[in-house]
Amino acid sequence: MGRMTATPAPTPESAPATPSAADRPKRVLLAAPRGYCAGVDRAVIAVEKALEQYGAPVYVRHEIVHNKYVVQTLERKGAIFVDQATEVPPGNIVMFSAHGVAPTVHEEARRGRLATIDATCPLVTKVHKEAVRYANEDFDILLIGHEGHEEVIGTSGEAPDHIQLVDGPEDVAKVEVRDPSKVVWLSQTTLSVDETMETVDALKDKFPQLLSPPSDDICYATQNRQTAIKELAGQAELVIVVGSKNSSNSIRMVEVAKQAGVPAAYLVDFASEIDEAWLEGVTSVGLSSGASVPDVLVQEVLEWLAQRGYADVELVKTADEHLTFSLPKELRRDLRAEAAELVKE
């Protein structure tokens, strides 16, 4: 019988060390996709092209997209942002923001003798068209969205007599319809996917024959940014979302991070708004940005974090995005006319 050799019990010195959070390298988990969506890219370029083509000022009704930096940058280039088309002097051009406008706004512009460039995102226009179609079929339309948001005001304006707003599951109790067999739900494009499904489930409990929209109203960009945030949420102790306080899709990203279990998540417009105290005990910082945020602002946050030891950056990629939209038709038409003139010269 051979001698049995006992394996020595691991001593504290020989045991594999489990690094404490403080010893682990600090890192940033950078979400992809993040930042500009196709609708924002198109709208911002449209303002720039209009400025180039017609010269300053170019009037824009409402913030072209909900981002402070974008608005300030375009203001410096000669854009003038107004709350209503009625504020624009006759004979000028007014642009409509990516969030869309009600038909009454087009009428106001016509009455005010304004030329218009409509930068409404085509994915918002799609929801407008759905609203018109169901209203023509005399459906009661339950529009899930946030009260007072520009997009909801625009969509509701397509069929004010047929649309009622449902602002979350807690609103469902008060919903009343004329005929429960002719009800459809639509939604704002920038909502939380999970919260919207909760609202839909509550609506379905109340109206079992509730019809769903023919395709997703919550847009691809909103969905993709929320999926990426969820993916990095499990690995980060802090999430920073770059975005403005009035940006629905950006706010939703912070909420999604918190719901996914991140201890702390914040929305900042600029790196200078980050509080050093947020980093206490944090090894992994999740970073993303809303659909209206230029990437230069994310790069500034990355620099800020690198200066504080968070120099390793890992990309957490959950989707590829390739969608692009052509410029608003008014601008394409004029751009073509201008090009034709240039050829003649």
Looking at the Cβ atoms of 190 and 283, the one nearer to ligand SF4 is 190
Altogether, the residues listed in the chain come to a count of 345
Q: What is the DSSP string of 217-276?
A: SS-HHHHHHHHHHHHHHTT-SEEEEE--TT-HHHHHHHHHHHHTT-SEEEEESSGGG--G
Looking at the Cβ atoms of 60 and 121, the one nearer to ligand 0CG is 121
Q: State how beta strands 163-166 and 140-144 pair.
A: parallel
Is residue 286 a contact point for ligand 0CG (CB under 6 A)?
no
In the list 187, 192, 226, 249, the residue contacting ligand 0CG (rule: CB under 6 A) is 249
Whether 151 is catalytic is: yes
Give the C-alpha separation, 262 to 280, whole Å: 14
Is residue 119 a contact point for ligand SF4 (CB under 6 A)?
no
Residue 33 phi/psi, 5° resolution? -75, 155
Is residue 331 a contact point for ligand 0CG (CB under 6 A)?
no
Shortest separation between residue 333's beta carbon and ligand SF4, angstroms:
22
In the list 114, 291, 298, 331, the residue contacting ligand 0CG (rule: CB under 6 A) is 291
Name the binder of 247 from ligand SF4, ligand 0CG, none, CB < 5-8 A by kind: ligand 0CG
In the list 29, 30, 31, 37, the residue contacting ligand SF4 (rule: CB under 6 A) is 37
In the list 116, 155, 199, 247, the residue contacting ligand 0CG (rule: CB under 6 A) is 247
Among residues 331, 247, 340, the alpha carbon closest in space to that of 288 is found at 247
Beta bridge mates, 30 = 287, 315
Instruction: Identify the DSSP state of 338.
Output: H
Among residues 189, 213, 190, the alpha carbon closest in space to that of 200 is found at 213
Shortest separation between residue 344's beta carbon and ligand SF4, angstroms:
37
Coil/strand/helix, residue 94: strand
Stretch 100-129: interaction string toward ligand 0CG, x if CB under 6 A: ---------------------x--------
Which residue in the list 130, 151, 158, 231 is annotated as catalytic? 151
Contact residues for ligand SF4, defined by CB under 6 A: 37-40, 98, 121, 123-124, 189-190, 219, 221-222, 249, 291
- Residues classed as catalytic: 151
